[in-house]
Amino acid sequence: MRIVVSGFEPFGGSELNPSAEVVRRVMAAHADRALGRELALHGITLPVVGGVRPGSARHAIRAAIAEFRPQTVICLGEAATRASICIERIAFNERSYRIADNSGSRIASAPVVRGAPKCLRSTAAHPGMLRAMRLAVRAHGATVRMSDDAGRFLCNEVLFDCLHRARGVYEAVFIHVPQTPAQARVRGSCGGIPLPAAISARAAIAAIRWLAQR
């Protein structure tokens, strides 16, 4: 089983992105053989840059998928406004950035892929995965839920692109994690409930184990 696991670089003025920290922790757990020997994991951090040119998130994830040929792509991103870890069930064919990306572009309204369906569903966003993730973080007071709105920024863009290009060759799923307590100390709660990246990483590891053992 080959899995690509991605996080994002910091954006929006923050100095860290918990999703990149989660990927680092997942890769460390894998190096310690905590995820099983049968699993080949490829971890990457994506730029928070829209579009498809070199230097964009989509360019980077497409290259990783072409090189690593995974059966599953599991992407992670930060959502400071969330109170739970969220499994995204749907991606929309729309780019409508609420802030500029890290290249300074702010897209008002554009499709992710011209001519593609309005939205695409993630088949890997399964209730079994939700149960496994809940079990992994329950004792830490963290919650996990399904979400039907990944926003209209880079997280949604990357999930839509992955689902659109999958053509049955691989599955793709997106997990949004809350901001960390350290981030919340700098910019406030943002309406969410902060969660240490170490706990988000436990949920991500449970998701990967579930995907690999299904």
DSSP helix/strand/coil, 74: strand
Of 48, 90, 120, 130, the residue at the interface with ligand PCA (CB under 6 A) is 48
Closest approach, Cβ 1 to ligand PCA, in A, equals 25
Of 50, 51, 70, 151, the residue at the interface with ligand PCA (CB under 6 A) is 151
Of 3, 49, 155, 199, the residue at the interface with ligand PCA (CB under 6 A) is 155
4: nearest Cα among 69, 80, 91, 56: 69
155, 157, 162, 171: which one is catalytic? 155
Query: Does position 19 bind ligand PCA by CB under 6 A?
Result: yes
Query: Does position 154 bind ligand PCA by CB under 6 A?
Result: yes
**Footprint on residues 68-87 left by ligand PCA (CB under 6 A):** 77-79
Q: How far is CA 205 from the centre of its chain?
A: 13
How far is the C-alpha of 188 from the C-alpha of 80, rounded, in Å?
10
195: nearest Cα among 136, 147, 146: 136
Of 8, 92, 160, 170, the residue at the interface with ligand PCA (CB under 6 A) is 8
DSSP helix/strand/coil, 158: helix
The tokens for 70 are: 């995974």
Query: Does position 197 bind ligand PCA by CB under 6 A?
Result: no
Q: In sequence order, what are the residues at sequence separation of 6 or more whose Cβ sits closer than 8 angstroms to the Cβ of residue 193?
A: 82, 83, 84, 178
Is position 67 annotated as part of the catalytic site? no
Query: Does position 208 bind ligand PCA by CB under 6 A?
Result: no
Give the footprint of ligand PCA on this chain (CB under 6 A): 8, 11, 17, 19, 48, 77-79, 151, 153-155
